[in-house]
Structure 1
Amino acid sequence: MKGRRKKQKSVVEGCFIPPLDEPFGIVIFGASGDLTKKKLLPALQNLYRCGFFPENFFVLGVARTKMDDDEFRRGFKSQSEKVDEGFLKKLFYQVVDYTKGETFKGLKERLTALHKSLSTEGNTLFYLAVPPQVTEDIIDNIGRSSIKTPPGWKRIVIEKPFGWDLRSARKLNELLH
């Protein structure tokens, strides 16, 4: 029929994706980049809208670009057609220089405060949406700053490419294990 749009199916309709019932925080390194604004945050917002996230969760964007929580939220709003205000309230931002360990102390303090205020039990997913050249520095500084220590579980997701050749991929794999 001309002029009528077909009803679009949900991306997750028909898939078995259980809702996450455990509280957690997501830390996105490279948060000021296009991948985060155009792909990661919209995808996370869709999961939030579909009820896949628990009530107690947060997204902490981390990058070298200087901005605060409100600027980070405005940046996402400007890239997104529809913004869920409930999701926006879960977005936070922290400036970190990936190569300077002392800036990770501030990240640890911010994470500790967010975990406490939002009752996320220290559960953290680190998502690295950064070039391979800084991946090793980030992983090393996460370890040195004790961010990875309990309470809670910790996971690291590395956006491809995983290194820039076989040798660097193997080195990165050793660093992670």
Structure 2
Amino acid sequence: MKAAKARRDSSAPESLAKEAGIAIDLAVEAGQWPPEPELSQLTRRAVDAVLAEIRASGAAHSELSLVFTDDAHIRTLNAGWRGKDKPTNVLSFPAFPGRLHGQLPPMLGDVVLAAETVASEAEAEGKPVADHIAHLIVHGVLHLIGYDHETDVEAEEMEQMERRVLAGLRIPDPYK
């Protein structure tokens, strides 16, 4: 998921993600997003919180791609990959299927967020955009490691995991 004109961040602060051997490739392709240093910090905090919750250990090297784009691009992806011709807030593209249990693979996959949908949801729900972005990063990364919400049981398990991770980030429960 690379764009020729994307801005990339490779100078994020030390974190659990780096200690676990995760390289995070952050690309801002389109849309109105917070400044890149803020996105980088938000991303690292969210990924670190997920890794801590699942007690992950790194492979020799593992990669994660986060793409910050707009509704038009995510709509195209959603139509092509999921058969849903509409924008959505976040899409996840796992590199490896199935639930990961602690050990990270060489590539986790891609998480893509859509600016307009994220901003409108945050406004409608009366929450800070940064909190909503962090929640969607957590949600997307959980999909990459095998969590899903196709059934009620899966949804409850994933939402409980999200609540624990977000509580550690001091972000209120998004499902209240």
The structure that has the greater radius of gyration is 1
TM-score, normalized by length of structure 1? 0.27
Structure with the largest fraction of helix: 2
TM-score, normalized by length of structure 2? 0.27
